[in-house]
Structure 1
Amino acid sequence: MTQLSGPPPARSAAFPIAAELRDVSRVHGSGSAMVRALDGVSLAFPAGSWTAVMGPSGSGKSTLLHCAAGLERVTGGQVFLAGQEITGAPDAVLTRLRRKKIGFVFQSFNLMGSLTAEQNVALPLKLAGVRVPRGDVRAVLEAVGLGDRLRHRPRELSGGQQQRVAIARAMVTRPAVLFADEPTGALDSASARTVLSLLRRMVDEEGQAIAMVTHDPAAAARADTVVFLSDGRLVDRLDRPTAAQVAERLARLEAAPC
């Protein structure tokens, strides 16, 4: 994978833990309508590592990602991003931190159809009033294998290529952590393998921290660690698992009585 231009990112040395949840709870509603989406979750996302988050529907996977990214306020516990506690940070502070320290990739690519790949990568930062040199935008597109697609619009790209544009957009600021919510859910198997290989190289070669929610055991098996949620609690963990091991643990959780 092409290295990004400029000095190497300092995140691995300065912030060995890119993001962390400490005894985090997240409650929705109250009284008989109360739902405990997260219940005392503690989880760290180290730099240079890939963590996959799995669990049955409604187990709290997306809530975990949203709380770690400062998109949802926690009811209890602490949240840290790149060494800074963000638990009670004002919205303006959170917005600035997310622009600089966090990248997001989702199942839907969320690209602007009228813009080129190059313009799509730069657009969110332009809207935020942040100037990104064109060379940096081109470098990150080259890093995801799209250096020859700079001027192509989404309709001229395959699904896998569009997701790689979305990854480039997430990576252009060199975030401390990349949050991915079902990043291969809308892709065919060949495109999914390409995107997963790209994420793997970002971890191994760039020292990126990745936290990924997925329902796919094959995708989860590309991660260093797979953690399993059930009813808002961390209930299991696998390190360097196979897809078969992940599928077996997930099936066991889904079959467990409520």
Structure 2
Amino acid sequence: MTEARGAAEDVVSLEGVQKRFGSVVALDSVTLGFARGTFTAVMGPSGSGKSTLLQTAAGLERPTAGTVRVGDTDLGTLSETGLTLLRRERIGFVFQSFNLLSSLTAEQNVALPLRLAGRKPSRKDVRAVLQTVGLADRARHRPAELSGGQQQRVAIARAIITKPDVLFADEPTGALDSRTGREVLALLRSMVDTQGQTVVMVTHDPFAASHADRVVFLGDGRLVAEMKAPTAQAVAERMTALETAFETAAEA
């Protein structure tokens, strides 16, 4: 289980976070930090609280109890408008579905967060981000003219155009074939290593998790294990053990 770090060191930190949906406890006293320039994978059996953890850490869900901070900002002190502004300026999101606007070109999709924030996007900056994800030559193509992997690369470019403190990725390779998924994972790893980007990725795939610096495992909304320098085999074995343990507990 990971130890809490100071807010000054962590880009995002959760302290004693609980999240309830009615009588269901989705997160149970979670204390966890994500340090700058690191890649963390979040795994666990179905219903363990993975997506709820991501949504709460990103300010999409308010915790029932506990504290979530982005840098030194306590999200509990922010209004809904304040949360929206923080997510727009300091947090990037990548999802399994690419969520690109079909009528816009790649460069227009990438520029969209800046336009929504009332900022005039620089074509130079947009092209630079597309270059980072290997799509400089696809700037004027619309989503229908791009492969699934290329669309996810555009989605990643859109997420990092604002230079976010943290990039949250929810099953980013779930809709891709294995080869394309490997390319996207290599891109996320490169962003951490060369640009100091902080990435937090929810995944069910041990191979995807092996690209991270560490894996945190959830079970019934609680942190139950952590693995550093993960390999796909070690992650798969740990997941099998966790799933067996929780299935056994449920049957007892």
Which range, TM-score by smaller chain? Answer: over 0.9
**Cα-to-partner distance string for 1:206-233 (whole Å, 9 max, x where unaligned):** 0010000000000001000000000000
In the alignment, what sits opposite 1:152?
141
In the alignment, what sits opposite 1:226?
215
* Structure 1 position 241, deviation (Å): 1.1
In the alignment, what sits opposite 1:176?
165
In the alignment, what sits opposite 1:56?
45
**Cα-to-partner distance string for 1:135-185 (whole Å, 9 max, x where unaligned):** 111110011000010001111111111000000000001000000000000
**TM-score, normalisation: structure 1:** 0.91
RMSD: 1.2
Which amino acid is the alignment partner of residue 202 of structure 1?
M
How many residue pairs are counted as aligned between the two chains?
Answer: 241
Where in structure 1 do 4 or more consecutive aligned residues deviate above 3 Å? none
1:119 to 91, 94, 108: 108
* Structure 1 position 129, deviation (Å): 2.1
2:13 to 20, 24, 41: 20
Which amino acid is the alignment partner of residue 29 of structure 2?
G
In the alignment, what sits opposite 2:58?
69
Aligned 8 A contact 2:113 2:162 in 1: no
Matched, 1:137 2:126: yes
In the alignment, what sits opposite 1:44?
33
In the alignment, what sits opposite 1:165?
154
Unaligned 5+ residue runs, structure 2?
A: 1-6
2:181 to 180, 185, 192: 192
**TM-score, normalisation: structure 2:** 0.93
Aligned 8 A contact 1:109 1:163 in 2: yes
* Structure 1 position 15, deviation (Å): 5.5
Q: Distance in 2 between matches of 1:254 and 1:134?
A: 48
Q: Distance in 2 between matches of 1:35 and 1:204?
A: 38
**Cα-to-partner distance string for 1:72-101 (whole Å, 9 max, x where unaligned):** 010111000022111231111111111111
**Cα-to-partner distance string for 1:188-220 (whole Å, 9 max, x where unaligned):** 011101000000010001001000000000000
